[in-house]
Amino acid sequence: MPEPIEIRGAVELPAVREPIEFVTLDGVKLVGELALPEARPPVAALITLHPLPTHGGFMDSHILRKAAARLPELADLAVLRFNTRGTSSPRGTSEGEFGDGVTERFDLEAAVRFARDRGLPELWLVGWSFGTEIAIKYGLAHDDVVGAILLSPPLHRATQDELARWAGSGKRMVVLVPEFDDFLRPEEARERFSAVPEAEFIAVEGGKHLWVGETQTRRVLTEIVRAVNPAALPLPETYAP
């Protein structure tokens, strides 16, 4: 019988992985991947929004890549990753040009439409850094989205008014702020996010903006699953093929 493997780093667990493409309402073709549980239907779906592409963010940014590598098997989640306009990864290059968080509203709409057309259940946005700005600014426009999980939100492009609109919306918001974030640390972040009283605010001790290291990766993935499918917790640290 095969020995269990430790789940860490680049370990990729079983899933149905499908290269995907979809076109925005302004005619831009985006490339990505959909990862689905291999043996069961998903209980929920994560639509991931990557960090700033002008500073190296893309659909393979490590937390999003590891979510797709692990969570379909461990938590019965579908994980949709894609490159926003003008962004490249080994999967390919999405058409268009970086829109500084403005024209990316079309990218989010196209991703939500794709997920809806595929019949994916319980759509959650998972934004990281720049991706949180897109989620905050445009997530409320989509009735299919039940909530947003925000990792290292800088609140540079998303305004306080846009954030406050989430209050009373009926959509859930989970906010993970690293103790040593480069842009917005817990004390200030807690004050800013008080505009959404129902938001779940989590200050992560020892965390940094990029969530480097297996300890931080496990913490982030655990909090995602706690929000979306808590029955799958605790996430195992080993896997028996």
CATH topology of domain 14-232: Rossmann fold (3.40.50)
User: Burial code of 212-228, b = ≥16 C-beta within 10 A, e = fewer?
Assistant: eeeebbbbbbbbbbbbb
Strand ranges for 24-169 from DSSP E = 29-36, 44-49, 77-82, 88-89, 92-93, 123-128, 145-151
Structure confidence by residue, pLDDT tens digits, 81-117: 999 999 999 999 999 999 999 999 999 999 999 999 9
Return the ∠ at Cα 165 (arms to 161 and 170), rounded to 5°.
Answer: 165
Taken in order 149, 176, 65, 238, is the CA torsion positive or negative? negative
C-alpha 134/C-alpha 130 separation (Å) is: 7
Determine the pLDDT at residue 188.
Answer: 97
- Quote the percentage of the chain above a pLDDT of 90: 98
User: Which amino acid belongs to residue 139?
Assistant: G
Q: Which of 208, 194, 38, 223 is nearest to 124 (CA)?
A: 223
Question: 56 in helix, strand or coil?
Answer: coil
**pLDDT > 80? residue 3:** yes
Query: What letter does residue 152 receive in the DSSP assignment?
Result: S
What does the domain layout of the chain look like in residue ranges? 14-232
